[in-house]
Structure 1
Amino acid sequence: MRRHRIAAIGGDGVGPEVISAGLEVITALSAKLGDFQIEAQSFDWGSELYRNTGVMMPADGADRLRGFDAIFFGAVGAPDIADHITLWELRLAICQGLDQYANVRPTKLLPGMRGPLMPELGAQIDWVIVRENSEGEYAGVGGRAHAALSLELAMDVSVFTRAGIERIARYACELAMKRPRKRLTVVTKSNAQRHGMVLWDQVCREVLIDYPELETDFMLVDAMAAKMVTSPGTYDTILATNLHADILSDLASALTGSLGNGATANLNPSGDAPSMFEPIHGSAFDITGKGIANPIGAFWTAAMMLDHLGERQAADVLMEAIGSVCQSGPHTPDMGGQASTAAVTQAVIQAISELGMG
Structure 2
Amino acid sequence: MSRNFTIDSIPGDGIGVDVTQVAMECVDAAAALHGFTVSWRIRDWNSDLYVKTGRMMPVDGIEQLSSGDGIYLGAVGTPDVPDDVTLWGLLIPIRREFDQYINLRPMKLLPGVTGAMPGIEDLDIVVVRENVEGEYSQIGGRFGAGTDAEFAVQESVFTKAGISRVARYAAEAAAGRGGTLVSATKSNGIIHTMPFWDEVVARTVAQFAGVTVDKVLIDALAARLVMKPTSVRTIVASNLFGDILSDLVAGVAGSIGIAPSANLNPERRYPSMFEPVHGSAPDIAGKGIANPVGALWAASMMLEHLGEVAAARSLTAAFESTLADGIATPDLGGSATTMEFAKEVRDRLR
Query: What is aligned with 2:87?
Result: 87
Secondary structure of the equivalent of 1:323?
A: helix
CA–CA separation in structure 1 for the residues paired with 2:179 and 2:67: 35
2:323 maps to: 326
Amino acid at match of 1:160: F
Letter in 2 for 1:133: N
Q: In structure 2, what is the equivalent of residue 356 of structure 1?
A: none
Q: TM-score, normalised by structure 2?
A: 0.98
SS at structure 2 position matched to 1:116: coil
Structure 1 length normalisation: TM-score?
0.96
Structure 2 Cα separation of the partners of residues 2 and 181 of structure 1: 36
Deviations 1:327-346 (A, max 9, x none): 11321110101111000000
Counterpart of 2:132 in structure 1 is 134
How many residues end up aligned between the 2 structures?
349
Aligned pairs (5 A) from 1:328-343 = 328-343=325-340
**Structure 1 residues 24-39: aligned runs within 5 Å:** 24-33=25-34, 35-39=35-39
CA distance in 1, matches of 2:122, 2:347: 29
Aligned to 2:159: 161
Q: Identify the residue that residue 16 of structure 1 maps to in structure 2.
A: 17
For 2:26, the aligned partner's letter is V
Give 1:182 shift: 2.4
Q: Describe the SS at the equivalent of 1:136.
A: coil
Which amino acid counterpart does residue 31 of structure 2 have in structure 1?
S
Alignment of 1:300 with 2:293, yes or no, is: no
Can you give the 5+ residue segments of structure 2 that lack an aligned partner in the other structure? none
Query: Whole-Å Cα distance in 2 between the matches of residues 87 and 28 of structure 1?
Result: 31
After TM superposition, list the pairs within 5 Å mapping 1:1-358 onto structure 2. 1-33=2-34, 35-118=35-118, 120=119, 122-177=120-175, 179-353=176-350
CA shift at 1:212, angstroms? 2.3
Paired letter, 1:72: Y
Please give the alpha-carbon distance, in whole angstroms, between the structure 1 residues aligned to 2:277 and 2:230: 23
Q: How big is the alpha-carbon RMSD for the aligned residues of Structure 1 and Structure 2? A: 1.0
Q: How far off is 1:60 after superposition?
A: 2.2
Q: Give the ranges of 4+ consecutive aligned residues of structure 1 lying more than 3 Å apart after TM superposition.
A: none
Deviation sequence 1:305-327 (CA, Å, 0-9, x none): 00000000000111111110111
Deviation at 1:186, TM superposition (A): 0.7
Q: Distance in 2 between matches of 1:163 and 1:152?
A: 35
Deviations 1:116-147 (A, max 9, x none): 111x1x21310100000011110221111211
Q: Distance in 2 between matches of 1:163 and 1:330?
A: 45
Report the CA distance between 1:156 and its aligned residue. 1.1
Q: Structure 1 unaligned segments of length 5 or more: list them.
A: 354-358
Does structure 2 conserve the Cα–Cα contact (< 8 Å) formed by 1:124 and 1:232? no
Q: Equivalents in 2 of 1:31, 1:270: separation in Å?
A: 28
Identity across the alignment (%): 46
Is contact 2:206-2:212 (8 Å) kept? no
Secondary structure of 1:239's partner?
A: strand
Match for 1:339: what amino acid? A
- Paired residues of 1:11 and 1:76 also in contact (CA < 8 A): yes
C-alpha separation between the residues in 2 aligned to 1:135 and 1:148? 30
Whole-Å Cα distance in 2 between the matches of residues 62 and 268 of structure 1? 15
